[in-house]
Structure 1
């Protein structure tokens, strides 16, 4: 279950930027996923067995392709979507060998190649609505949502000011084609009955 934190009452009105409060919360909960989402700090539960199995599955599908190209797979990096924007920690972030970084802990969204989110019971709205809208605005080229509850995968592409302009939705068991620079087909048959 996710826990949404309120700003402490003692915080002054001048320090309205939750981004300044985020590092303190990350230190307070180092074993949790702490994100700034839509103007609120969210502390997520540890991933479940199913969640981790899905991450393992996607890694198996893309690992060889990614390493052949010299790209990197990061499982715990913050996305920098703009100086006054949200901060997300996707389940997987694939980047080129030398991505543009905001600092050591944040990669610019438009410098990624693919962002993957696996939906948990407390993250459905954020993973399907809030994060895609803001990742699209920040230029994240491909946003992949794997939803075991709906047994489907959504691939969003064509980032723009309103979010993403293109969407492909498939049910578990089908094939998913990732567009250039990927040109890779993912087989989702192993996800059936996860």
Structure 2
């Protein structure tokens, strides 16, 4: 396996099956400050988030918790969701799923069980968050994908999942309200999502 520096990925000389990549991911000892996902047939390492992302993730969880579908929970905890049909495994920044999803001894959770997912972009993750994950989350039937473009300071909600990704999207700059469709049926206030002043 090799480790690349810009946005580190790990791949072998021969193509590996998705199951083999998942097994490699389970065995991987990560460098301090990194997390790992499977994207397009490679294990991709991403640096941990900036400090203020914690505030933003907390605001999203607090603001959406009253609107969760019955029996669902929302968290910013590190969990790995697998999408075998697309041979992907993501650790979303924020995720909501039915409580039953977490009643397993496996660390590979069912991506199709998600009712909501949010990603906060960084310079190293932005391209995959804007492309690969839009398609995979949509094809898996995740009702809402919230993409927070931290570089552009705008929020986009993707909804109406389909075989091609998502059919609907709505973008608002940070500080404005963003409508979220079913199963949340609420408006998300994006006030406080901006970076702190230097």
Bucket of the pairwise TM-score, normalised by the shorter protein: 0.7 to 0.9
**Aligned equivalent of 1:20:** 20
**Aligned equivalent of 1:56:** 58
**Aligned equivalent of 1:72:** 73
- Name whichever of 77-86 and 155-164 sits farther off: 77-86
Calculate the TM-score normalised by the size of structure 1: 0.85
SS in 2 for 1:54: helix
Task: Report the Cα offset of residue 109 of structure 1.
Answer: 2.5
Q: Which one of 9, 21, 32 corresponds to residue 4 of structure 1? A: 9
1:113-132 to 2 correspondences below 5 Å: 113-132=115-134
Contact map agreement 1:77 1:107 (CA 8 A) in 2 = yes
RMSD: 2.5
Q: Which one of 87, 90, 100 corresponds to residue 89 of structure 2? A: 87
SS in 2 for 1:167: strand
- Residues in 1 aligned to 2:104 and 2:167: alpha-carbon distance in whole angstroms: 26
SS in 1 for 2:184: coil
Shift in CA distance, 72/30, structure 1 to aligned 2, threshold 3 Å = farther
Task: Report the Cα offset of residue 52 of structure 1.
Answer: 2.0
Task: Report the Cα offset of residue 149 of structure 1.
Answer: 0.5
**Aligned equivalent of 1:151:** 153
Calculate the TM-score normalised by the size of structure 2: 0.83
SS in 1 for 2:130: helix
**Aligned equivalent of 2:49:** 47
Gaps of 5+ in 1: none
Task: Report the Cα offset of residue 145 of structure 1.
Answer: 0.6
- Residues in 1 aligned to 2:104 and 2:82: alpha-carbon distance in whole angstroms: 7
Gaps of 5+ in 2: 1-5
- Residues in 2 aligned to 1:69 and 1:107: alpha-carbon distance in whole angstroms: 19
Q: Give the aligned length.
A: 188
Shift in CA distance, 101/128, structure 1 to aligned 2, threshold 3 Å = farther
